[in-house]
Amino acid sequence: MIKISNLNKTYHLKDKDVKAIQDVNLSIKEGEIFGIIGYSGAGKSSLIRCINLLEKPDYGEIIVDDVKLCQMTNIKGQDKLVTLSEKELRKTRKNIGMIFQHFNLLERLTVFENIAFPLRHTKMRKNDINKRVHELIDLVGLNDKINVYPKQLSGGQKQRVAIARAIASHPKVLLSDEATSALDPDATESILNLLKDLNKKLGLTIVMITHEMSVIKSICAKVAVMEEGKIVESGDVYSIFSNPQSDVTKKFVASTSVLHHVDDLLYHSIIQEDKNGKLVKLIYQKTTVKDAIISEVSRKYNVNVSIILATIEILEDAPLGGIIALLQGNIRNINQAILFFQNNDVKVEVINHGRVD
Amino acid sequence: MVEWIKKVIPNVYIYRKDFITNTLATLEMFIISGIIAFIIGLFVGILLTITKKGGIKQNRIIFHFLDIIINILRSIPFIILIIFLIPITRKLVGTAIGITGAIFPLVVGTVPFFARQVETTLANVSDGKLEAARSMGCSTIGLIFRVYLKEAVPELIRVTTITAISLIGLIAMAGAVGAGGLGDFAMSNGYAMHHTDIVNVCVIVLLIIVCIIQAIGSLLSKKTVNRELFRKKVL
């Protein structure tokens, strides 16, 4: 559905150049909910704005629903970026909806008029617009707010209006730029559920930009992690988060896991490391989640295992577990126990003075 | 009643015909130059907004050209601007005096002020709204009329009111160079002939005009915030 190749974008500021996007390649399938996560300044907003050419890249190719929005063409021996004509671009944008962090509703229009905005001044007849808007209002569940102005709505309701507006002209793709970042947890959940619903009902392909790990966890199937304009890791959510490779990804994983509380425990000397023990972090995946490995290890190697923190999360309907445990006993036995864990598909990280060795 | 007027404002009574003609002249100049200045000023203000850096149709040459012209015109005191414009006014409308001669300098004096106000007003329309409209496939014309102008209506009414009031001031000044109107009347029949009552009455009439403009402006601005004026209910 969306294919991005060799995308580059640099902002030329007065005192320096900022490479917002560097050699980004992405491929998003139809009907997928694809998350792009990164800290602010990672270039994710620039990237999503390139998909509908609100932002013009310097280099690269973007294809959305078989339409080439921009590509590189060799003109007189020089590679030049060629985009769709203004008119073609406007037509293509009707096929790519977009929602924003701050909703961007028109304040002087009612909910009805806001949703009708993209349909007005098109070939659509008045009656059809009326019908379509009512359909959309039904879909996002705002039947009682039809004549209300945005100022009288809550954040969650505003985002619902924005979503209805974005999908009014039946787009195949919806771009979501931090759409839940300004919402409280309840509203965030309801908006995410709505997006999930639309994805299922309409087969809408959704690209989500976010800095919140929880958003990715709750609705995305695929994820790309961005840092300094580059995609450092991408793949399906489960494998990325069960086995994070880069530091950024690890940080994001830690941000929503209770396991990072071990740092606090160590800091306050509530648990201590000693010569006869090793503090370890065990990550176990869907295959091993039900096995009684810990008691097996304890019996087999004569190691005392005290569980300090444990968690289990459901990602893409599959469990992903983690345990912080203190292994105590003979050092050789401990090492053998660790080996046993690893042989049984349990990832082991030894924590030393709060750091992973 | 007539007796009372004769006693309190005798000179106004004597020159009552001139007084009424001049009041009407002020209103005529206000309406004609006001409408022309509004249209041109709005156009220039929009042009400034879209051509400036980061605007939807960025164009350095047009922006800087307009910017400099506006700055120059705004820095010339109006009374000097009128005199400065006399040759051009003559070429343009054939005369530099009377109502006809006053319209052109009044427009030139008002447009830069109004255009700047429009520019500031439109700058308050958030980039996010424009971006959202662009993402829905809105054209440049659509962005101007459906987003910029529509979202800014209450503010535009407010700055139009301010400009209209300052235009009343300019019209009075134009009276000094033979444009007619209340300013002229107050100067030649009032001040020059030591008829204090004429000056006072002119002040009161101008005050009333300004108050009416302000009241209409405030009301419209308030009513348009949520489009109460043109609201259509959809059931």
- DSSP line for A247-297: HHHHHHHHHT-GGGHHHHHHHTTSS---TTEEEEEEEE-TTTTTS-HHHHH
Q: Chain B: residue nearest A175 by CA? A: B135
> So what's the pLDDT on residue A289?
66
- What is the average pLDDT across A291-303? 84
ipTM above 0.95, yes or no: no
Whether the Cβ atoms of residue B152 and residue B120 lie closer than 8 Å to each other: no
Nearest-CA distance B224 → chain A (Å): 8
Cα–Cα distance, B134 to B138 (Å, whole number): 5
Cα–Cα distance, B137 to A169 (Å, whole number): 10
> So what's the pLDDT on residue A274?
65
> So what's the pLDDT on residue A257?
77
A272 pLDDT more than 50:
yes
Which residues of chain B does A98 touch, with a Cβ-Cβ cutoff of 8 Å?
A: 132, 135-136
Rounded alpha-carbon distances, angstroms, from residue B26 to A19, A173, B21, B171, B181: 60, 59, 9, 7, 5
> So what's the pLDDT on residue B205?
93
> So what's the pLDDT on residue A355?
46
Which residues of chain B does A108 touch, with a Cβ-Cβ cutoff of 8 Å?
A: 150-151, 153-154, 224-227
Contacting A residues, span 2-21, partner chain B, CB-CB under 8 Å: none
Interface test mutation site (partner B, options A110, A146, A170, max chain B beta carbons within 10 A): A110
Candidate from A211-225, A291-305, B193-207 with smallest mean pLDDT: A291-305
CB neighbour burial string for A284-302, b if at least 16 within 10 angstroms, e if fewer:
bbbebeeeebbeebbeebe
Higher-pLDDT residue of B21 and A311 is: B21
> So what's the pLDDT on residue B136?
95
- What is the average pLDDT across A298-318? 83
Average of per-residue pLDDT values in chain A: 89
Q: Chain A: residue nearest B131 by CA? A: A54
Cα–Cα distance, A4 to B170 (Å, whole number): 59
Share of chain A above pLDDT 70, in %: 94
Q: What residues pair up with A75 in beta bridges, in sequence order?
A: A78
> So what's the pLDDT on residue A62?
95
Segments making up each domain of chain B, as ranges:
2-234
A345 pLDDT more than 90:
no
Is A309 an 8 Å CB contact of chain B? no
> So what's the pLDDT on residue B126?
93
Higher-pLDDT residue of A344 and B44 is: B44
> So what's the pLDDT on residue B227?
60
- What is the average pLDDT across A152-177? 96
Contact yes or no for A54 and B226 at CB 8 A:
no
Rounded alpha-carbon distances, angstroms, from residue A313 to A98, A118, A248: 30, 40, 20
- What is the average pLDDT across A150-178? 95
Cα–Cα distance, B189 to B204 (Å, whole number): 16
> So what's the pLDDT on residue A296?
85
How many C-beta neighbours within 10 Å does residue A10 have?
16
Is A250 an 8 Å CB contact of chain B? no
Cα–Cα distance, B182 to B189 (Å, whole number): 10
Which residues of chain A does B148 touch, with a Cβ-Cβ cutoff of 8 Å?
A: none
For residue B188, the 8-state DSSP code is I
Q: What is the CATH number of domain B2-234?
A: 1.10.3720.10
A352 pLDDT more than 90:
no
- What is the average pLDDT across A315-343? 84
Which residues of chain B does A109 touch, with a Cβ-Cβ cutoff of 8 Å?
A: 150, 227
Tens digit of each residue's pLDDT, chain B (235 residues):
888 888 888 888 888 899 999 999 999 999 999 999 999 999 999 999 999 998 999 999 999 999 999 999 999 999 999 999 999 999 998 888 888 899 999 999 999 999 999 999 999 999 999 999 999 999 999 999 999 999 999 999 999 999 999 999 999 888 877 778 888 888 888 888 898 999 999 999 999 999 999 999 999 988 887 665 555 555 4
CB proximity list for B65: less than 8 A, separation 6 or greater: none
A126 pLDDT more than 60:
yes
Confidence of residue A326 (pLDDT cuts 50, 70, 90): confident
Q: Which amino acid is at A13?
A: L
A287 pLDDT more than 80:
no
